[in-house]
Structures are given as structure tokens and as C-alpha cells.
């Protein structure tokens, strides 16, 4: 299948047009598309009128799927689909203090999906079904480009460092718990290198985000300053693409090489519903 590629910024993001994801891609096309994705970290595939089954089928061409770990965050009856939404199952607005709204709100902090898991996610694919008239963009930062731009002494300092990631750290301000006891104990803190070598491209990338709680062997304050400083460095405009959603957009990103965050919109007035599939990683990072 013929498709065209247009870069969205110099450092991150490309748009692919000419694909129809309602049908499986043939293996040769899929291999070419995957190369574009690896090179650009984030790809936008607009104008895709796909349903959940078709999104799941395309996502499985990328790799095996993760099931969404918390039932409150799944689309009803669909453990493969995470709902990035402010709507309930009747597409009515949820109140901002609803537990699910509180958990989803923290997607506004820069993060890599499932970095709190022992085997963290490879990829995520977010498909826009309902978008607000203003706001609600999603921003993406290229963590490989950010790593490469660090000074040599900082690269040397990061060599071999290990960080602790913890879902309940990024969700520490969630007041009403949306999780069962079993879900909480199923997600203990886990360890990942601060600099990750990409298993497919070999490129090195920073791997810290909002789930990163501390750095092993460092005082708490020193670790926090390092984590926050690296996130601030990596999310400077030169490493970032900000996506303004149109219904039908599919955005597919590489969690091994990108941070992302949701941007504000008026959650009390405007509806937003995006469906996410998550492709599992292939093994532990250490």
C-alpha cells in the first residue's frame, strides 16, 4: 500500500497519510510503517473511521496487547481499551471529583505509559472519538533527542543509575481511591535504568517521568531534583510535538523513547473521549 510521510517537527513526530486501518496492513507495508514510527517516535495517522475491534487488530500488528490493569479505567467490557475520557458509559460528563476523573487528571503530568510495571509498555495508540472544541491536546517529547542533547558530564553522571517507578507516586494526590486492594498490591514499585537503550533502534533515551519516584543510592532530595531537572530538560519546545486532536486521528507513540502528557480543557463543559490500546513490552529493562 502506498503512503506518504510528512515530518511534524524537526525532532519528533510524523504524519502518515494514505493508510486505511480498517483492514490489516500487508507485512511489507507494516514493516515500512514501523520504520517510520521508530525513526520519528510518534506518528499521526489521521482520518481513520475505525472501531474498537479494528483498533485492537492494528495494535496487535505492532505487538501483543497489555490489558488495562484497573477495571475502573477500562472501557466497559473491553479490558484492552483504556478510556482517556471525562465521560461515563452514557457519554455524560463525570463530576471532576469522580475517582476516575482524579486518576485520569494525572495524565497531565509527563509520563511513559506503564513505566510502573516490571515489563513496561512498548507502545500506545490513542484514537479520537469525541474531541473538545478547544484544548485537550496531547504533547509528546522525544527522550532520545533529549538524551543526546545532554552535556557529556551529565551523561556520565547518569550512566548506570537506576530509578524506582511507582504508580501510587504519580497518583499520590488522588483523594478517593479508585482502586481495589488487589489492584494496589498487584502494582508494587519497580526498577528501571534512568537511561534506556532502545531494543530495536539501539538509540539511548532518558527514561524518567511522573511515575518515577526516586533514584537508587541517592538522597531523596537529590534524586527528586535530578528527576525533575531531567523532565524539565526533555520537555523543552525543541523536543516536543503537541497534537491538536481531530475526530478519527490515531496517534501511535513509542513509550521507550517518548514522554507524553494531556493538556487542559474545560472538563466541566466539554466532552472528550479517546480510546487507547497499549502494546506490551518484550522484557524487563534491567
Q: 166 or 223, CB closer to ligand OGA?
A: 166
145 binds, among Mn ion, ligand OGA, none (CB under 5 to 8 A by kind): none
Q: Would you count residue 276 as binding ligand OGA (CB under 6 A)?
A: yes
- The residues that bridge with 204 in the sheet, in sequence order, are 197
| Interatomic CA distance for residues 143 and 12, integer angstroms | 10
Using CB under 5 A as the binding rule, the residues of this chain from 104 to 143 that contact Mn ion are: 113
Using CB under 6 A as the binding rule, the residues of this chain from 40 to 99 that contact ligand OGA are: 84
Q: Would you count residue 107 as binding ligand OGA (CB under 6 A)?
A: yes
192: closest CA among 168, 219, 158, 141?
Answer: 158
Q: Would you count residue 262 as binding ligand OGA (CB under 6 A)?
A: yes
190 binds, among ligand OGA, Mn ion, none (CB under 5 to 8 A by kind): none
For the four alpha carbons of 186, 229, 259 and 201, in that order, the dihedral sign comes to negative
Strands (E) in 186-272, as ranges, are 190-193, 195-197, 204-206, 212-215, 240-243, 250-254, 258-262
Q: Would you count residue 260 as binding ligand OGA (CB under 6 A)?
A: yes
Could you give phi then psi for residue 43, rounded to 5 degrees? Answer: -125, 145
How many chain residues bind ligand OGA (CB under 6 A)?
10
How distant, in Å, are the alpha carbons of 140, 179, 252, 268 from that of 248? 19, 31, 13, 23
Q: 112 or 215, CB closer to ligand OGA?
A: 112
274 binds, among ligand OGA, Mn ion, none (CB under 5 to 8 A by kind): ligand OGA
- The residues that bridge with 243 in the sheet, in sequence order, are 138
Q: 43 or 126, CB closer to ligand OGA?
A: 126
Least distance CB 229 / ligand OGA (angstroms): 22
- Residue 80's H or E segment, with its range, is strand 78-85
Q: 158 or 212, CB closer to ligand OGA?
A: 212
- The H-assigned helical ranges of 20-142 are 27-40, 52-62, 99-105
Report the interface residues with ligand OGA, using CB under 6 A: 84, 107, 113, 124, 126, 138, 260, 262, 274, 276
Amino acid at each position: 500500500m502506498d503512503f506518504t510521510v510528512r515530518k511534524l517537527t524537526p525532532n519528533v513526530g510524523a504524519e502518515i497519510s494514505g493508510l486505511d486501518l480498517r483492514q490489516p496492513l500487508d507485512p511489507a507495508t507494516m514493516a515500512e510503517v514501523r520504520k517510520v514510527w521508530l525513526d520519528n517516535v510518534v506518528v499521526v495517522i489521521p482520518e481513520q473511521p475505525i472501531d474498537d475491534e479494528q483498533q485492537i487488530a492494528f495494535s496487535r500488528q505492532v505487538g501483543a496487547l497489555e490489558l488495562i490493569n484497573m477495571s475502573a479505567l477500562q472501557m466497559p467490557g473491553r479490558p484492552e481499551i483504556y478510556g482517556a475520557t471525562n465521560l461515563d458509559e452514557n457519554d455524560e460528563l463525570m463530576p471532576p471529583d469522580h475517582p476516575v476523573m482524579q486518576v485520569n487528571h494525572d495524565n497531565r503530568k509527563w509520563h511513559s505509559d506503564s513505566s510502573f510495571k516490571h515489563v513496561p509498555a512498548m507502545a500506545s495508540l490513542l484514537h479520537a472519538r469525541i474531541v473538545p472544541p478547544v484544548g485537550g491536546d496531547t504533547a509528546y517529547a522525544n527522550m532520545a533527542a533529549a538524551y543526546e542533547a545532554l552535556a557529556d558530564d551529565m551523561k556520565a553522571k547518569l550512566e548506570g543509575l537506576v530509578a524506582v517507578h511507582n504508580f501510587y507516586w504519580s497518583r499520590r494526590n488522588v483523594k478517593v481511591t479508585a482502586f481495589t486492594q488487589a489492584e494496589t498490591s498487584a502494582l508494587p514499585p519497580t526498577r528501571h535504568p534512568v537511561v534506556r537503550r532502545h531494543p530495536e533502534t539501539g538509540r539511548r533515551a532518558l527514561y524518567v517521568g511522573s511515575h518515577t519516584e526516586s533514584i537508587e543510592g541517592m538522597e531523596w532530595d537529590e534524586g527528586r531534583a535530578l528527576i525533575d531537572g531531567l523532565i524539565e530538560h526533555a520537555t523543552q519546545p525543541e523536543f516536543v510535538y503537541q497534537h491538536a486532536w481531530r475526530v478519527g486521528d490515531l496517534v501511535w507513540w513509542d513509550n521507550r523513547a517518548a514522554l507524553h502528557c494531556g493538556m487542559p480543557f474545560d472538563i466541566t463543559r466539554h466532552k472528550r473521549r479517546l480510546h487507547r490500546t497499549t502494546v506490551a513490552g518484550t522484557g524487563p529493562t534491567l
